[in-house]
Chain A
Amino acid sequence: MRKILGLLLLSTTLHAATPLRVVTVGGAVTETAFALGSGDVLVGVDTSSTFPEMARTLPQVGYQRALSAEGIASLRPDLVIVSANAGPPTALAHLAALKIPVLRLVAGDSLDGATTRVLQMGEALGREGEATKLVEKIASEVGARVPLAAHSPRVLFVMSLGQGSPMVAGRETAAAAMLELVGAQNAGNAIQGYKQFSREALVLLDPEIVVTTSRTLAANGGEANLAKLLPGLEITAAGRSGRLIVMDDLFLLGFGPRIGEAAQELATKLNEPSRRAER
């Protein structure tokens, strides 16, 4: 571990020359590389790198927590940028042993974390100017978001990885951090992490708005089925008003370069009046 850290320091100081073959691991990492204008130096990405469209055409190095050192090495990168989640540690240690510089970005689902990562990557990719501009853009977007109406609404974030049993986002989740960023109350704050919720507890929380990801909706066959998967929802405020917000996973929860846009869009949608009331 210490070896990797040492190498990290080395890599950031010694790597003055702009890297020409870069592997990025993590959806937001890849997104940032493109946002900084370094998309053309990418030679490989992980499975979570789904944005922009260009990223999907690059060679896949696998799931970000199950990387293969030899697979990455075969792409002959001169820099590997990984999210704080990347692993396993052995694979990263092997890359270090092959003298391939590895930049591990800081962790943190927060505005601070997001901007620090942009700056880290800007330095590593020789795009400091672009990084500073991007950070400014994010700050202005977050600042320019529509302020929430009168009170901060109770928002329930639900997500499911596959089919069935959606999980509610509790404390210390990216969803909670995003809700906090736009000034909404996370209805699931009583729990920690993503958990399944009982029907009665759901009724008790009485969320005003439900937020979910487009992947969750797609996996469960649309809005109509989601209501079935969350029985009890129909007698909550959100169920009665029909206020459901759907956003892209990576966009909403990635804490990448589009965090400002995501905050703007979420805030705007939270402010929309209920659809049922409109009718």
Chain B
Amino acid sequence: MTLAKGSAFCVFLAILSGAVALISLRTGAVPISWREMVGGGDSVGSMVFQTMRVPRLLLGFLCGGALGLCGAAMQGLFRNPLADPALVGVSGGAALGAVAAIVLGGPFLSHSIYILPAAAFFGALAAAILVHVIATRGVRVDVPTLLLAGIAINAFAGAGIGWMIYGATDSQLRDFTFWSLGSLAGAGWDATLGCLPFVVVAAGLLAFRARALNALALGESNAWHLGVSIEGVKQAVLAATAFAVGAVTAFTGTIGFIGLVAPHLVRLAVGADHRLVLPGSFIIGGCLLCAADVIARTARAPAEIPVGIVVASLGAPFFLGLLLREKRARA
């Protein structure tokens, strides 16, 4: 990585996120004037701006960013550009927690908007801890075992979800379906501020791990010989993923794909150096989710499309196109 390329990329990221933020704040079902945006006041427009648009943009950016960041870290840990936070069972655990809250929480669910996110978060955390315990031999975390344990935990969560769905009423079933499609519709200041500390902790855990992840690309043995405490990196990546993806999934439901596509885009632009890939994936992931959300809330306004659907239906063809272009370039 040359310095020039790195700084050009940073400028690009700044312009991109500014543009996405502006578009996101300007578009929506309710027309909002510039004066209402800047001046405040208590007109419907400025209220919508303050209580919905701004927190929604921030939540989208936090969640997309966390998914991109954790995706990049996971890919570094597994040394595989196809790795994804879902691999270690975090998403499965969150989904099981969410469906349990929806089906069993019934009457309590309406008391607090935090019950569903809390259940999803603890589900994610429990899955991550379980996977970690299973894959730990002595003081070492065995990465292939981690992967297999993740698959097993996902299957187990799938079974649990199946049981819950079996016992669910029609409307609970619909609730879970919509939750699993992912949406930022629940965004308000409480969700945004609820999500923030977890994403900050995750970013903090990964902030100084870029060099270690770079070394880990050469395998655990070489990383160790390059002075990396590999167990520390593994624990940090796992903990960060459990925290951030757990919290994000809790507040927005399952949103796939960003963890895969954001780091891929960054690597295409600036290569594999995690000092750029980690922050770059955060910003690109955040921009992707916010951009998809603009479509999700305007395409069928006044109704709203679950953003997960938008992400997948725009992201998948785009990603395929990229793959084909790369294939041609390599041929």
Contacts and interface: CB of A to CB of B under 8 A. Distances in A.
Q: Do chains A and B touch in the complex (CB under 8 A)?
A: yes
Interface of A: 1, 44, 47, 59-63, 65-76, 85, 87-91, 93-94, 97-99, 172, 193-195
Interface in B152-206: 166-171, 174-175, 178, 183, 185-188, 190-191
Interface residues of B, number: 37
Given A62-B303, A74-B30, A75-B302, A88 B44 contact: no
B52 interface: yes
B112 to A, nearest CB: 7
B5 interface: no
Interface of B: 28-31, 44, 47-48, 51-53, 110-113, 166-171, 174-175, 178, 183, 185-188, 190-191, 297, 300-304, 306
B81 to A, nearest CB: 34
5 contacts: A66-B304, A70-B302, A73-B44, A89-B113, A98-B51
Contacts of A194: 169-170
A44 B302 CA distance: 9
Nearest to A88: B186
A74 B188 CA distance: 17
Contacts of B178: 63, 65-66
Nearest to B296: A68
Given A74-B301, A90-B187, A93-B188, 9 more contacts: A47-B303, A59-B302, A60-B300, A66-B178, A67-B304, A68-B297, A71-B302, A75-B302, A94-B52
A193 B113 contact: no
Given A65-B174, A90-B191, A60 B303 contact: yes
Nearest to B304: A68
A195 B30 CA distance: 42
Given A1-B110, A70-B29, A94-B188, A65 B169 contact: no
A62 B169 contact: no
A94 B302 CA distance: 15
B185 A193 contact: no
B110 A73 contact: no
A157 B52 CA distance: 43
Nearest to A85: B171
Contact of B185 (A74, A90, A93): A90
A89 B110 contact: yes
Contact of A66 (B28, B113, B169, B183): B183
B169 A91 contact: no
A62 B29 contact: no
Contacts of A193: 167-170
Contacts of A61: 302-303
Given A73-B29, A73-B48, A97-B51, A90 B113 contact: yes
A70 B110 contact: no
Nearest to B301: A71
A70 B52 contact: yes
B113 A98 contact: no
A85 B31 CA distance: 29
B11 to A, nearest CB: 33
Nearest to A68: B304
Contact of A71 (B167, B174, B186, B303): B303
Minimum-distance CB pairs A-B, first 3: A71-B302, A62-B303, A74-B29
Given A66-B183, A70-B48, A93 B113 contact: yes
A59 B169 CA distance: 28
